[in-house]
Amino acid sequence: MNVRKTYLLFSLLALTGYLWFFVSQQWLNANPAKTSSVCLFKQMSGLPCPSCGSTRAAHALMKGQVADSFQLNPIGTLAPIVLLLFSLGLIRDFLFRKQDVYNLYRRLELRLRQKAVAIPLTLLLLLNWCWNIYKGL
């Protein structure tokens, strides 16, 4: 995939993230007592997925409830921070005609293929999944 198509994909992913956040915020505000999940995995298996609670965690973070956010799901605590930094990087690259986000993506992709990085990250994801099951999300 060329750089231009990659940036288009990155932009669409960022916009989708913001759209999901906005729609879910409206849904949570309209249904504050609603506890049903939009997670297809949870609906089919009855078990939470590794990212269950991420949306609620992101919303708690936006309200300044950092501890609550982290307890709901650490992935959901990191997601809005990464999305914001990613978006700012995309804007910066567009304005200054740079490819820093693309270059970072390529370096990260190569690092994630290394067993010394992939195995610990996979274990962290599995631990997060066990945490979600233990909490009964």
- pLDDT tens digits along 43-97: 888 888 888 888 888 888 888 999 999 998 888 888 888 999 999 999 999 999 9
- When pLDDT is cut at 50, 70 and 90, the band that residue 2 belongs to is confident
pLDDT in tens, 12-58: 999 998 998 888 888 777 766 655 566 778 888 888 888 888 888 88
Q: Is the overall model pTM greater than 0.75, yes or no? A: yes
Using CA atoms, how far residue 118 sits from 19, 74, 110, 121, 129, in Å, is 30, 18, 10, 5, 16
Tokens of 106: 């390529």
Q: Quote the CA–CA distance of 80 and 133 in Å, as a whole number.
A: 23
CA angle (89, 101, 79) in 5-degree steps: 65
Residue 99 has pLDDT above 90, yes or no: yes
Report pLDDT for 131: 87
How many Cβ atoms sit within 10 Å of the Cβ of residue 94?
12
User: What is the residue-wise DSSP string for 22-41?
Assistant: HHHHHHHHH-TT------HH
The type of residue at 44 is M
Using CA atoms, how far residue 35 sits from 14, 31, 38, 86, in Å, is 26, 9, 10, 30
